[in-house]
Amino acid sequence: MIEGAVKGFQKATSQGVILQDLIHGVEVKETRNLITSNGITTELFRSDWNLISDVVDHIIHVSFRPNAVSAWHMHENRTDYISVIDGSIRIVVYDGRPNSPTAEKVSIIHSSNMHPTVVTLPPGVWHGFENLDQKVTSIINYANKAYDYKNPDEWRLPWDTEKIPYRFR
């Protein structure tokens, strides 16, 4: 054994479910690609998944340039639901809610069109995205509240802030 080596840990179950230590309120719903005679179909949302207790009031498509970082963002009243439709991203979340059972905790979620998921980002959770590909990566972000152009429910910090204990790159 080489000194300093660290033993690996379980990352998935024998059924292929990814194990993740998530902050309170963040959810990852694994979906699947359905191979059909004419292509691939991926479900992005179904009401019977019971992910969204409110309405979907706004849907946007976002494209991240190769290796781009888009961080940090937080909404006080809006919940975001993220699905990768092309490429691979790292979603980093930080619990900035002082009364949360996971306050000040960081969780990292990897998502890709190859292993599709819907990631729930509740209000008060800071989040950032890093494109892990050398090509454009695209996501669909559906939210329970529409963007308010006059008074955006959006707070920002620089991607390299010292206030969140995570470093991109």
Digit-coded pLDDT (tens) for 127-162: 999 999 999 999 999 999 999 999 999 999 999 999
Residue type, position 50, single letter: N
The answer to whether the predicted template modeling score (pTM) of the entire model surpasses 0.85 is yes
Residues 6+ apart with CB under 8 A from 164: 72, 94, 106, 126, 157
Domain 27-45+52-147: which topology? Jelly Rolls (2.60.120)
